[in-house]
Amino acid sequence: MAGEGDSEPRKSFKLLGFLDVQSVPCARESVLYGSLGSLVVGLGHFLATSRVRRSCDFAVGGFISTMLGYWFYCRYNLAQQRIRQRMLKEGMKNRILFEGSYLDPEKNQTGNERSDS
């Protein structure tokens, strides 16, 4: 049936024998955008010059540059997201730790505490 195959682990797709596209973050999107970039660059160069071999060279260059460009962009955004998550996690831990104490920044201060400060 349709649901029987869901329990088995899916086979991973390895690019060039070592890059596991399913488990490495940003790898799948980078390969897809790289292939789209190679198609655009190669076809555009072919339509402009009608030189097949040179257009294939440009397509390979377009694939590499688009793939690497998106790889670095995606990894940079992923690193920023992880930093924000780490900061949020630390903030939530501090909120739980300091809630109700005199260190709580949201605790309302009375008139006596304001004059002491």
Residue 8's pLDDT is what?
57
CB atoms within 10 A of CB 38: 21
What is the predicted pLDDT for the residue at 93? Answer: 84
- pLDDT in the model for residue 82: 95
Structure confidence at residue 1 (pLDDT): 45
User: Structural domain boundaries of the chain?
Assistant: 26-97
Instruction: Give the chain's residues under pLDDT 50.
Output: 1, 111
Of 83, 104, 86, 107, the C-alpha closest to 95 is 104
Task: Please tell me the pTM assigned to this model.
Answer: 0.66
Q: Decide: 37 and 66 in contact? Cβ < 8 Å.
A: yes
Q: What is the pLDDT of residue 24?
A: 78
